[in-house]
Amino acid sequence: MNIKLGFFLLTSLFVMSSQTLAAPQSEIDAIKKAVESGYQSQRNLAFEYSRGWGDAGDSDYVPKDIIKSCAWRKIIVLSNHEKLDVTDYSNESIDCKNVHPVDNEKVWQLVFAGLSLIEQAKNTL
């Protein structure tokens, strides 16, 4: 799968699973940065999803979304083993504990899509 198509699919998955009708550009930019830039950008995005960021209608608005937050916490643990610290494991536990079992499949779909894109991004550098 080419990286642009893969990024489009991952972005679509994240946007479709959002509570809002349309994702602000800043959310899409944050996803792209997390895929391309790695660890700290991934942590930032997971944090934004865990609490929400900004106000609806603002250019930097990122909606609170426990499924996306949990997915990014898992992506962080699975793709950044050399940079992990104890807080990454704690954050994964905290952010994923509120995901209902019926939503767990959605989390893992996002995780597998994200890991695939991260791997592709590494291979294109």
Q: What is the pTM of this model?
A: 0.79
For the four alpha carbons of 38, 41, 44 and 50, in that order, the dihedral sign comes to: negative
pLDDT tens profile 63-103? 999 999 999 999 999 999 899 999 999 999 999 999 999 99
Domain total of the chain: 1
Taking residues 40-58, what's their average pLDDT? 93
Q: What domain range includes position 68?
A: 3-124
